Amino acid sequence: MPVCQGAITLQTLSIKASDLGLIKKKEAKPQATAKDLRPYSEKEKVGLAKRYTPEQLAAIEVGEAAVDPNDLAEQGAAREDSMKLNYLDDLSTIHPVVDKPIRAPEENYDPNLRFKTEDELTEDLTNWVKDLPDEPKRLDWMKFSDNTRVTVGKPEAELNPRSYLAPEIPKLDMLKKNVAGSEEIDASTRRLMRQTGFDHKEIRRFRVKNLIVHRVVNQTRLGKISRQYFLTVAGNGKGLIGIGEGKSSEFEEARQQAKNAAIRNMQPIPMYEGRTIFGDVKGKVSATEVELMTRPPGFGVRCQSLIFEICRCAGIQDMAARVTRSRNHMNTVKATLQALLSQRLPEEIARARGRKLVDVRKVYYGGNV
């Protein structure tokens, strides 16, 4: 483009990068053909037969015959563009230092492995009973349960099976030694574990929320005695919910009492599609009335803060609620739990009316819902 400056006219030149030799021309790569793809030799087929069944080998041969050789030449070659990797890594190999795999040898794989039938298991038990000594001990049964196989095939395929899955990523708790033994569990938690059947890890995973915390005063002839009061809700986020109350002169003791009581009182509540409730339900405690309403996916939980925390602990994701008349906090929590437990399932309604229940969505979508 000409540029005028006084009486002098300058002409700018456009020079291509290829003319300066900055771009290297790519050489045409020879296209692979069917002749370049060597079929499996007899020795390789014998090795594959140890790992695959005849049907699988036939499927492998048909799949390789269907692959276009040109696609192999283009996709199997190393990249030369600007986004290529700075190294060549064969992802089919395993690096012991990086991957750290813990896998059994390939010889342990048995394609003909199957479980024993009931008759075969009964025969093993009968033979063991016949060989028992006159005075059997508990150790004899332990040896039988540990050494008796439940499959027919290679013993290594059951005792140390070959797996092609990647090893599980170690968690922080797995890296510590004797986590359960080093952690001290107080007496109240041990008692709770015996009463409910939950282990310590499950109790720690529960979602616990203190809904009401205040101080209460009891007037006696000796004077005023103050204590702490807790109303707590606990749930697992999958349909278990419970509330508990605790009262003590010590703050921490009252909180622990309410938490343990909430976990002990947990009950399952029905949930539609794992996200909302079945229809509209009502609950009433004293002068407090609560109405819970089901909502479509994506609606969220739109209600009072106390009811919102109960829904979070229970795992409810779509619901609306309305509190009428009195709005006492303690009665609101108890009325909400009463309403959740008073749901009627469609199967119960159909059974009471003597009708047959048909899910229209499953009929329309062919069960893919």
pLDDT by residue, tens only, the chain of 369 residues: 444 444 444 455 677 766 776 666 555 555 555 556 677 888 888 888 888 888 988 888 888 888 776 777 666 666 666 666 666 666 666 665 556 666 788 888 888 889 989 899 889 888 888 888 888 888 888 888 888 888 988 888 888 888 777 666 655 554 454 444 446 788 889 999 999 989 898 999 999 999 999 999 999 998 999 999 999 999 999 999 999 999 999 999 999 999 999 999 999 999 988 899 998 999 999 999 999 999 999 999 999 999 999 999 999 999 999 999 999 999 999 999 999 999 988 888 888 888 877 766 555 544 444
pLDDT of residue 33: 54
**From CA 265, how far away is CA 233, in angstroms rounded?**
10
**From CA 50, how far away is CA 40, in angstroms rounded?**
15
pLDDT of residue 29: 53
In three-state form (DSSP H/G/I as H, E/B as E, the rest C), the secondary structure along the chain is: CEEEECCEEEECCCCCCCCCCCCCCCCCCCCCCCCCCCCCCHHHHHHHHCCCCHHHHHHHHHHHHHCCHHHHHHHCCCCCCCCCCCCCCCCCCCCHHHHCCCCCCHHHCCCCCEECCHHHHHHHHHHHHHCCCCCCCHHHHHHHHHHCCCEECCHHHHHCCCCCCCCCCCCHHHHCCCHHHHCCCCHHHHHHHHHHCCCHHHHHHCEEEEEEEEEEEEEECCEEEEEEEEEEEEECCCCEEEEEEEEECCHHHHHHHHHHHHHHCCEECCCECCCECCCCEEEEECCEEEEEEECCCCCCEECCHHHHHHHHHHCCCCEEEEEEECCCHHHHHHHHHHHHHCCCCHHHHHHHHCCCCCCHHHHHCCCCC
Contact yes or no for 208/229 (Cβ under 8 A) = no
Query: Is residue 330 classed exposed, middle or buried when 0-12, 13-18 and 19+ CB atoms within 10 A define those classes?
Result: middle
